[in-house]
Amino acid sequence: MPIPTESSTYWKIELSDLKKRYHTFFAWLKDDSEYPLLAGVATGLYPFISYYTHNFQLVNSWEHFLFFLGMFVIFPALLFWALYKISKWSWLKKWRKYGLFFITVFVFLVFVEISLHAELKKKLALYTFLAVIPFSFLLYKHYKKIVVLQYVLAIIGLFSLAPVLWEQRDISMDWTQQNDGIETTLLKKKPNIYLIQPDGYVNFDEITKGHYNMDNGMFRSYLAGKGFKEYPNFRSNYPSTLASNSAVFTMKHHYFNYGTHPSKLLNARKVLVSDNSVLTVLKKNGYKTHLILESPYILLNRPKMGYDVCNFGTLDVPFVGSGFRWKRDVEEALAENIANNEDEPVFYFIEFFNPGHIKNSKGSSQGPEEEKRRWQESLEYSNQRLTEMISTIENHDPNAMIILLSDHGGYVGWDYAMQMYEKDTDRDRIYSLFASLCAIKWPEEVTPTLDADLKSSVNLFRVIFAELGENPSLLSNMQGDESYSILTKGVPKKGPYRYIDGEGNIVCEYMQKETQ
């Protein structure tokens, strides 16, 4: 078969067909047809794709997919259709051409705002409403062009979403598998265990120096008086809540799955809430498990609940947002649950967000000094909350094991939190990310003898199970006490870096996958 040339009949037919389609399309743009259903779908399609692109780790459930399909696509389509029908009423006909443009642009922009911020900012929505009104009178004739543009943006958006979806193909959970039989450990002593996690609480050694330079001696003395054993110079292995706690509850390093962004650790919430080695050991030994959260942050993508009791139900978890606006009183929840403790041993994981860390973004930060002042205020409030919870536990459960473990440092010394993805050489700033509190009140029947090498959070439960199970062989598979972070700026290659080695030295070494 001969190859068509520009002069061939085949090519002329193709060109003729393209011209017809071209003229038909522009004729459609100029006619009076309005296609409200088509416009309704257009307003939400790009925001729908954008939301998934920017928040995939928060919404990777079928429940979210159906919710956002209804919110971004089905709802606006039905809304446009209903408004179109209503606009045919005689007294509204003259406003219809302006109204169609207004609703098309306004709904689209509001959806875009939601997709970017993972929430509806009411003031911004109001400003958008007021700004679109004058344009509706000036540009109403271009209503269809706006619809076409929205579909074009949706197609472009797919090119951003595709790599996010493609990345998920090679996310392996092999790293959670244990190298020994720790999951079958039988505990000879089964005290009630309370793991309390004050977010961003820096250890007592680091807080007196560096960028903190604060006096927290009163609370340190309080813990000593209550019989807590402090673990000096303790560090988290990762600088964020999900990454750090994933290592804690699996007792394994994950190295962010060797991704170039923390969200690569896609299954972190499933690891924390649904199934992990710590829960396996506790349940095997007859523990009733409780999860008490100040906000449903770790429940956002609706993982299967692996705890027996949680103070948030599925219906309490929002579909949109980070979850931090939905707060519950953890002190009250602890008091209610502890009063109902039964004869079986119990485990509580209690998480609250004080002292926390400095503001995330450059725009929201008020500068290092002001952020430090605010963090110190939050630290004082955290001490009050911890004192109240310790008192509650001691009153109801005097021989309990109480563990205070923070997930990471408070980031004091940085301008804003997201700056941590830039390579830094300042020892005090780097330690501000990882220096964390670990203090344990061991029950009377346990005299710890195997905890001399407890230096970082990844080994916490391996040491605890070795002590309670009177099984020192579990310490043969201790993980390295290194601390890791994702770096994206100032480094030759984006990805996970060993920032602090097992001896506490700043090293900044790229983690090749074969080094696992």
Element (H, E) at 484: strand 483-487
Greater confidence (120 vs 342) lies with 342
Task: Decide if 100 is inside a domain.
Answer: yes
Give me the mean pLDDT over the 261-289 stretch. Answer: 85
Q: How far apart are the C-alpha atoms of 336 and 318, rounded to whole Å?
A: 24
Q: Taking 70 as the threshold, does the pLDDT of residue 340 lie above it? A: yes
| Residue-number span of the structural domain to which 389 is assigned | 192-287+337-475
182 pLDDT band, cuts 50/70/90, is: very high
Q: What pLDDT does residue 26 have?
A: 43
CB 413 within 8 A of CB 211: yes
Q: Taking 50 as the threshold, does the pLDDT of residue 412 lie above it? A: yes
Task: Decide if 118 is inside a domain.
Answer: yes
Same domain, 151 and 198: no
Q: How far apart are the C-alpha atoms of 494 and 474, rounded to whole Å?
A: 35
Same domain, 163 and 199: no
Task: Give residue-wise pLDDT tens across range 471-489.
Answer: 999 999 999 999 999 998 9
Same domain, 136 and 229: no
Q: What angle do CA 499, 501, 505 make, to 5 degrees?
A: 85
- The bridge status of strand 483-487 relative to strand 495-500 is antiparallel
Greater confidence (93 vs 432) lies with 432
Q: How far apart are the C-alpha atoms of 344 and 349, rounded to whole Å?
A: 17
Backbone angles phi, psi at 195, to 5 degrees: -100, 110
Q: What pLDDT does residue 117 have?
A: 62
Q: How far apart are the C-alpha atoms of 111 and 109, rounded to whole Å?
A: 5
Mention every residue, 6+ apart, whose C-beta is less than 8 A from residue 294. Answer: 327, 328, 330, 351, 352, 353
Q: What angle do CA 127, 133, 134 make, to 5 degrees?
A: 110
Q: What pLDDT does residue 123 have?
A: 64
25 pLDDT band, cuts 50/70/90, is: very low
Q: Taking 60 as the threshold, does the pLDDT of residue 9 lie above it? A: no
Q: How far apart are the C-alpha atoms of 393 and 405, rounded to whole Å?
A: 16
Q: Taking 80 as the threshold, does the pLDDT of residue 516 lie above it? A: no
Tokens at 252, concatenated: 């394994």
Mention every residue, 6+ apart, whose C-beta is less than 8 A from residue 41. Answer: 73, 76, 77
Q: What pLDDT does residue 46 have?
A: 81
Determine the 3-state secondary structure of 206 from DSSP.
Answer: helix
Q: How far apart are the C-alpha atoms of 84 and 9, rounded to whole Å?
A: 46
Q: In what order do the strands lie in the sheet with 483-487?
A: 483-487, 495-500, 506-510
Q: How far apart are the C-alpha atoms of 436 and 416, rounded to whole Å?
A: 19
CB 498 within 8 A of CB 482: yes
Q: Taking 90 as the threshold, does the pLDDT of residue 50 lie above it? A: no
Q: Taking 60 as the threshold, does the pLDDT of residue 203 lie above it? A: yes
Q: What pLDDT does residue 450 have?
A: 92
Strands (E) across 163-211 are located at 193-198
Backbone angles phi, psi at 487, to 5 degrees: -120, 135
CB 201 within 8 A of CB 436: yes
212 pLDDT band, cuts 50/70/90, is: very high
Same domain, 253 and 351: yes
- Number of compact structural domains in the chain: 2
CATH number at residue 198: 3.40.720.10
Give me the mean pLDDT over the 504-513 stretch. Answer: 87
Same domain, 27 and 110: yes
Task: Give residue-wise pLDDT tens across range 107-164.
Answer: 777 777 776 665 556 666 566 556 555 655 555 566 677 777 778 888 888 888 887 7
Give me the mean pLDDT over the 337-366 stretch. Answer: 86
Q: What percent of the chain has pLDDT over 90?
A: 41
- Lowest mean per-residue pLDDT among 110-114, 239-243, 466-470, 511-515: 511-515
Element (H, E) at 463: helix 460-468
Q: Taking 80 as the threshold, does the pLDDT of residue 392 lie above it? A: yes
Q: How far apart are the C-alpha atoms of 482 and 238, rounded to whole Å?
A: 9
CB 427 within 8 A of CB 412: no
Same domain, 142 and 211: no
Give me the mean pLDDT over the 354-370 stretch. Answer: 84
pTM: 0.83
User: How much is the mean pLDDT over the chain?
Assistant: 82
- Lowest mean per-residue pLDDT among 15-24, 159-168, 285-294, 413-422: 15-24
Same domain, 125 and 238: no
Task: Decide if 84 is inside a domain.
Answer: yes
- Lowest mean per-residue pLDDT among 65-69, 234-238, 387-391, 499-503: 65-69
Task: Decide if 352 is inside a domain.
Answer: yes
Determine the 3-state secondary structure of 227 from DSSP.
Answer: coil
Give me the mean pLDDT over the 459-473 stretch. Answer: 94
Give me the mean pLDDT over the 316-328 stretch. Answer: 76
Same domain, 198 and 161: no
CB 230 within 8 A of CB 220: yes
Same domain, 238 and 341: yes
Determine the 3-state secondary structure of 11 from DSSP.
Answer: helix
Q: Taking 50 as the threshold, does the pLDDT of residue 394 lie above it? A: yes
Give me the mean pLDDT over the 352-357 stretch. Answer: 91
- Lowest mean per-residue pLDDT among 53-67, 331-345, 359-373: 53-67
Greater confidence (14 vs 193) lies with 193
Q: What pLDDT does residue 74 have?
A: 84
- Lowest mean per-residue pLDDT among 83-97, 275-289, 392-406: 83-97
DSSP string, 246-261: HHHHHTS--GGGG-SS
Task: Decide if 490 is inside a domain.
Answer: no
Q: Taking 60 as the threshold, does the pLDDT of residue 14 lie above it? A: no
* Distance linking the first and last C-alpha atoms of the chain: 57
Same domain, 207 and 259: yes
DSSP 8-state symbol, 190: -
CB 484 within 8 A of CB 497: yes
Q: Taking 80 as the threshold, does the pLDDT of residue 434 lie above it? A: yes
Same domain, 242 and 342: yes
Task: Decide if 266 is inside a domain.
Answer: yes
Same domain, 140 and 215: no
- Which of 151, 167, 183 marks a domain boundary? 167
Task: Decide if 464 is inside a domain.
Answer: yes
Give me the mean pLDDT over the 213-233 stretch. Answer: 93
Q: How far apart are the C-alpha atoms of 413 and 432, rounded to whole Å?
A: 7
Greater confidence (97 vs 75) lies with 75
Alpha-carbon separation of residue 450 from 51, 169, 183, 477, 489 (angstroms): 48, 41, 19, 13, 40
Task: Decide if 292 is inside a domain.
Answer: no
- Which of 125, 152, 167 marks a domain boundary? 167
Q: What pLDDT does residue 24 have?
A: 46
Alpha-carbon Rg for the chain, nearest whole angstrom, is 28
DSSP string, 389-434: HHHHHHHH-TT-EEEEE-SS---BTBSSGGGGGB----HHHHHHHH
Q: What percent of the chain has pLDDT over 70?
A: 80
